[in-house]
Structure 1
Amino acid sequence: MSLIMSLVGIVVLLAIGFLLSKHKKHINYRTVLVALLIQVLFGGFVLYVPIGQQILFAVSEGFVKLLGYSSEGINFLLGFWLTDASNVGFVFAFKALPVIIYLASLISVLYYLGVMKIIIRAIGGGLKFLLGTSETESLSAAANIFVGQTEAPLTVKPYIAKMTESELFAVMVGGLASVAGSVLAGYIGMGIPAPYLIAASFMSAPGGLLFAKLLIPETEKSVTFAKDGETDKDDAPANVLEAAARGASDGMFLVLNVGAMLLAFLSIIALINGILGWFGGLFNFNELSLTWLVSIPFRYLAFLIGVPWQDATIAGGMIGIKLITNEFVGYLELSKYVVQGEGGIFSAWQGIQPITGTILSFALCGFANLSSIAILIGGLGVMAPSRRADVARLGVYAVIGGCLSNLMSATIAGFYFSLGAGA
């Protein structure tokens, strides 16, 4: 049944994108279909083909090992606070989140050394060649695999002001369809399977372009072309040490931002649940909560993308909460169904079927939520003040595109799981 629903889900998601398209006559079906094909083939290779599975697990094991080196710094500063692992929130705040600082610093160094530029150029060039998208939007999509929605556009910063509406929208959707490589550390620290998170990050590049070009197709002629070596050199680090220090500083800001958002969102959700619980108690309906309310419409969507019906309400609640708040809150909910092994790494699912956990791991892996609109306006608005109004106008549409991209990756993952690719 899940296999059939996965196929239905793919068709439904494409149909939603088509129905919401602003310029249906201008849709480039080559771009849309090839982007979908890349998502399907890449997902099949790393989730179903044995050698692809081995490569994905090797990469994820290497990534987890890379994150493990952060324990030296964390234990030095905070080790005496981590003797009791029974308080999940406490350990998350003082063990999972600090890893982000380490990874942000490492990524900054790799950028300074030119390693990230080579990788992004290669992936961006491949997307441009295969999809027929412009170089600027392809580069930004590739960058979003590794960095966040405000950092990736820096790779094409000089061209944002001159971008067509479709190109600007593609940059926005790409940012919302993905997550920053540094925050993957936080999700892995919650026990979310690293292989799924890494696969979702790579699938977000073609997925974001797919729905960006489906929702707002290109109707103008692009006048942007990113040349090699054309970056903002005035703001570049002087050496490796400054790059590491700047990355650590950025990582600290990100950690504080994530921590503050979680504190605020979880507290507000608790307040709303308290009010709803009191109201529901008047009618002897103690299950009434915000999660239950958002699960009502989203459980049908969860079922459409392959989640078994018995888990659809749980899955729908997580998808809805993630859309209203952010992906960290969604993953915190999902982590309640994870059995963690040694070092807090994923071991098994509990309370939900494995296919549900797999689909949700992909579906939640993106910045597509309502609060991200403000981040986009702030980030892109600073890079190109003349486009601030355009970013604000396209914000909700970009969230829809990012959500559809995440759900498409999740549907494809569920399809291969149904074929026997499950962990």
Structure 2
Amino acid sequence: MSILNSLLGIAVILLVAYLCSNNRRRISLRLVSIALLMQFTFAFCMLYLPIGKQVMMWMADKVTALLDYTQIGTQFLLGGLATDKMFDLLGADGFIFVFKVLPVLVFLSALSALLFHVGIMQKLIILIGGALHRLLGTSRAESMSSAANIFLGVTEAPLVIRPYLKYLSSSEFFTILVGGIASIAGTVLLGYAQYGVKIEYLLAASFMSAPAGLLFAKLFYPETKENSDKHTSANSMKEEKSEYRNSIDAVTQGASVGVSMALNIAGMLLALLAIIAMFDGIMMWATSFTGHEISLTQLIGWLFSPVAWLLGVDWTEAQFAGQLLGQKVLFNEFIAYANLQPYLDGSILPATGEALSVKTQVILSFALCGFTNIGTIGIAIGGIGAMCPERRGELTSIAFKAFGAAILANLMNGAIAGLILG
């Protein structure tokens, strides 16, 4: 039955995207079919095939080893507060977000800046972007940006094609925005892993987001004009120089950006969690007069539970899964993953009296992996608008439609994961 749910969910997601298209006759069936096949191939190889699982486990082990280097700097600053001794003292409360997650963001921000300065990041982006360009027939610029989104954030990825932003068609511009919102930056992705989400799932979801973003961008906004390829070439893409003076400058500036990002995330989470709790209290007080207290999280769960069911989640777990999907869209994915963490560790789900099923854990790990929250719209408009101020008005006019396309891209990743596991 869950297989049928996932198949129905995939069909519904594609139908919604088709109905939202601004030019259905110009939708490229070749692009849609190949992008879907790429998503299925990634998921099948990484979740089902033994050799694919082994490759993902190998990659996950290497990433885990990389994360361990963060501990050296963190323990120098915080001593025993950054070690596993905190779990001996506090039990489950030993996971302290400020000590476990935020240092990872600073380290990886510095590392990614260094990799960009020495040219390694560009080579990876050109390799993957070139493959997308040839397979899907998308332009070089949008393919490169989509590839960059595997490693970089919504405002950093477009930097690799900054000289060409003014030449992009409206469809390409829309694609750049969708790709950024639907994906997740490598720095933040590894922060999610600190919540107990399996790194191999996060890596798979990140790679799947590249074709997913292109797929839904071109369903919503098919290309109707000449794209930017006449202004770009493979060689011109390689000519983009580092903005850093040397490697030390790259590391220090990258660390500064990481600190700023970490502080912003910490402040945002503090404010949002407090506001959610406040509205929870207000709603429960207001509904207590009816004899049935209803919280904001319960309401979100009811609204999004059909969506969770369509992804392949069992109906008994759909309200909980719906709560997390709703929290991710309305607030952010950090809050959703934080609320998922106890159930990844084996906590009992009150609705069923049992542990959360492995299948639901995997579906949520995939579906929550993306920047698809309302706050990202403002970040994207501010960041991309600053790179190309002459098109800021166009950017604001398509932002919410791009947000919708990105949500469907993330949900499609979850539905495909549910189908493979079914």
Give the TM bin, normalised by the shorter chain: over 0.9
User: For residues 374 and 345 of structure 2, what CA distance do their matches in structure 1 show?
Assistant: 30
Do 2:324 and 2:340's aligned partners in 1 also have CA atoms closer than 8 Å? yes
Do 1:47 and 1:416's aligned partners in 2 also have CA atoms closer than 8 Å? yes
User: For residues 4 and 204 of structure 1, what CA distance do their matches in structure 2 show?
Assistant: 23
Aligned to 1:142, which of 147, 150, 167? 147
| Pair 1:181 & 2:190 matched | no
* Equivalent residue, structure 2, for 1:205: 210
Alignment of 1:146-295 (within 5 A): 146-223=151-228, 224-226=231-233, 227-231=236-240, 233=241, 236-286=243-293, 288-295=294-301
Task: Give the match's secondary structure for 2:345.
Answer: strand
Do 1:97 and 1:185's aligned partners in 2 also have CA atoms closer than 8 Å? no
Q: String of CA shifts for 1:112-154, please: whole Å, max 9, x gaps.
A: 1111111110100000000000000000000000010000000
User: For residues 387 and 43 of structure 1, what CA distance do their matches in structure 2 show?
Assistant: 36
User: For residues 88 and 159 of structure 1, what CA distance do their matches in structure 2 show?
Assistant: 48
* Structure 1 length-normalised TM: 0.93
| Pair 1:302 & 2:311 matched | no
Aligned to 2:413, which of 391, 409, 417? 409
Q: String of CA shifts for 1:339-371, please: whole Å, max 9, x gaps.
A: 18xxxxxxxxx7311111100000110001111
Q: Which sections of structure 1, spanning at least 5 residues, go unmatched? A: 341-349, 419-423
Q: 1:292/1:310 Cα in 2 relative to 1: closer, same or farther (>3 Å)?
A: same
Q: 1:114/1:207 Cα in 2 relative to 1: closer, same or farther (>3 Å)?
A: same
Aligned to 2:392, which of 364, 375, 388? 388
Aligned to 2:123, which of 102, 118, 121? 118
Query: Which amino acid counterpart does residue 274 of structure 1 have in structure 2?
Result: G
The Cα shift of 1:89 comes to 8.2
Task: Give the match's secondary structure for 1:366.
Answer: coil
* Equivalent residue, structure 2, for 1:316: 322
User: For residues 351 and 386 of structure 1, what CA distance do their matches in structure 2 show?
Assistant: 53
RMSD (CA atoms) = 1.4
* Equivalent residue, structure 1, for 2:381: 377
Query: Which amino acid counterpart does residue 130 of structure 2 have in structure 1?
Result: G
The Cα shift of 1:79 comes to 2.2
* Equivalent residue, structure 2, for 1:21: 21
* Equivalent residue, structure 1, for 2:350: none
* Equivalent residue, structure 2, for 1:30: 30
User: For residues 334 and 403 of structure 2, what CA distance do their matches in structure 1 show?
Assistant: 16
Identity of matched residues, %: 44
Moved more, 142-151 or 176-185: 176-185
Query: Which amino acid counterpart does residue 22 of structure 1 have in structure 2?
Result: N
Do 1:237 and 1:243's aligned partners in 2 also have CA atoms closer than 8 Å? yes
User: For residues 79 and 292 of structure 2, what CA distance do their matches in structure 1 show?
Assistant: 44
Task: Give the match's secondary structure for 1:219.
Answer: coil
Q: String of CA shifts for 1:40-96, please: whole Å, max 9, x gaps.
A: 011111111110000001101110111011100001101243443337486111122
Do 1:103 and 1:182's aligned partners in 2 also have CA atoms closer than 8 Å? yes
User: For residues 319 and 106 of structure 2, what CA distance do their matches in structure 1 show?
Assistant: 35
Do 1:364 and 1:406's aligned partners in 2 also have CA atoms closer than 8 Å? yes
Query: Which amino acid counterpart does residue 362 of structure 1 have in structure 2?
Result: F
Q: Which sections of structure 2, spanning at least 5 residues, go unmatched? A: 347-353
| Pair 1:325 & 2:334 matched | no
